[in-house]
Amino acid sequence: MKIAFVGKGGSGKTTLSALFIRHLAAAGCPVIAVDADINQHLGPALGLTDDQAAALPSLGAHLPQIKEYLRGSNPLIRSAEEMIKTTPPGRGSRLLRIVEENPVYAACARPIALDEGSVRLLATGAFTEDDLGVACYHSKVGAVELLLNHLVDGREEYVVTDMTAGSDSFASGLFTRFDLTFLVVEPTRKGVSVYRQYKEYARDFGVALRVVGNKVQGPDDLAFLRREVGEDLLTTFGHSDWVRRLEQGAEPALRTLEPANRAVLEQLRNQADEAYGARDPRRYTRQAVHFHLRNAESWGNAKLGIDLATQVDEGFVLGADELDAAHV
């Protein structure tokens, strides 16, 4: 399952995504965690020191290697240099799986041992001084979009992505690459305005969106969210001394998380499991092609001097084996 956490800056989305990752790992599920936030805080939220987080390999720095591996023997893609962030897979492309070893994971993923279980972490890399004035952050998260376009995942296998804060989460086709998106919302007017903005963006693409209230201090906060968000409100995460200790640098055991908040994490997992049953491989592939053609027309064709529409394998559906199994 491909899961995203989005929200405005300071909403607590990174904290909740890290808690969800820990919860899945504690249940023995294979998990790949992806830090696609410009601020790169997921590693520390999973227990890394600042130095360890800074030493994580950057997906963006390994983009040529990633492209060469994913290209495989696809005859529609003549070279890795002709791949862009939206290039869809086709027959002959190499596909990624969550439970496997491959050169991409060897170069870019790092294992993180948690108090209950372990995960593999991928990071886009921080925005550096060399990027100022000459690059946009979307050039970095493009590596995540390319990976998700080529990833085949199974039930009870998870990719959990901490997206960049604010509406930038919708600045590329990456937001359509998930089975379910959790929007973390505070009980404030600004928090609700972000919810309305996100919902508007998601509607046209059929993005499954569930709202998780955070920093809910009492019945008035809850009533506010219920009034403003309605049936999109899935659950709320309450005050947590456990989270405060974590943010202060302690490493409390997950089993000591407040029972009510641990139950929230299980609600999120149940929603993810339901989303897996509703996934549509044809729509997923169709949307990947849609954004590829849009990028080709807006900048890709001019930059590379070729017609990138020729990279589309019309007969290929990512996850087609799921469709075949459904009709057995």
Q: Which two tokens stand for residue 126?
A: 């921080």
pLDDT under 50 in the chain at which residues?
A: 128-137, 323-328
| pLDDT value of residue 38 | 83
Residue carrying the six token digits 């290209």 = 71
| pLDDT value of residue 134 | 35
Nearest to 320 by CA among 272, 285, 277, 278: 285
- Please state, in angstroms and rounded to a whole number, the distance separating the CA atoms of residues 313 and 286: 11
| pLDDT value of residue 102 | 97
**From the centroid of its chain, how far is CA 73?**
27
Domains of the chain, by residue range, sit at 2-326
Domain covering 2-326 in this structure, CATH number: 3.40.50.300
| pLDDT value of residue 139 | 56
Q: Which two tokens stand for residue 144?
A: 């995540």
pLDDT per position as a tens digit, 73-84: 999 999 999 999
- Please state, in angstroms and rounded to a whole number, the distance separating the CA atoms of residues 281 and 270: 21
Nearest to 114 by CA among 26, 201, 188: 26
| pLDDT value of residue 168 | 67
| pLDDT value of residue 141 | 84
Burial grade of 238 (CB within 10 A; 0-12, 13-18, 19 or more) = middle
- Please state, in angstroms and rounded to a whole number, the distance separating the CA atoms of residues 146 and 149: 5
Q: Render 99-137 in DSSP notation, one character per residue.
A: SS--HHHHHH-EEEE-SS-EEEEEE-----GGGTTT--T
| pLDDT value of residue 169 | 67
Claim: this prediction has a pTM higher than 0.95:
no
